Amino acid sequence: MFAVVKTGGKQYRVAANDVITVEKLVAEQGATVSFDEVLMLGGDEVTVGAPLVAGASVKAEVLEQVKGPKVVSFVKRRRKHSSQRKRGHRQQLTRVRIIDIIAGGAKAAKAKAEKPVEAEPALEPAAAN
């Protein structure tokens, strides 16, 4: 079974025991995190969300907080300006191991959402004396 999750503005295809590197998460090493934005579930039966799969989540364990490779931005203005600028950047990342993919509750949540919602009657304004 696999899932497509969204975190940090990116989408990742994950399965159980996969190790992925995502944008920095606020969690300590060894903590368990949950990705609730599941876009698709696959396996014997494929479930595609619209936009999310209701009731699905992915549990993961934080392995470590790391930094990505250094990216250098170099700008040189030519001719009479003779100015240069060099900046480096290392993105902070989190390495996680996928523990479990939970697909439960998708059909129950869908049936619950189809139930019509009744509007509350509007309150009348108080009469001015």
Q: Is residue 115 part of a domain?
A: no
Tell me the whole-structure pTM to 2 decimals: 0.69
Q: Which domain holds residue 12?
A: 2-65+94-107
| Overall average pLDDT of the 35-58 stretch | 91
Over residues 60-113, the pLDDT tens digits come to: 999 999 999 999 999 988 877 778 899 999 999 999 999 999 986 544 333 333
Total count of domains within the chain:
1
Asked if pLDDT for residue 114 goes beyond 60, the answer is: no
> What per-residue confidence (pLDDT) applies to 117?
45
Q: Is residue 19 part of a domain?
A: yes
DSSP state of 110: H
Q: Which residues contact 92 (CB under 8 A, 6 or more apart)?
A: 23, 24, 65, 66, 67, 68
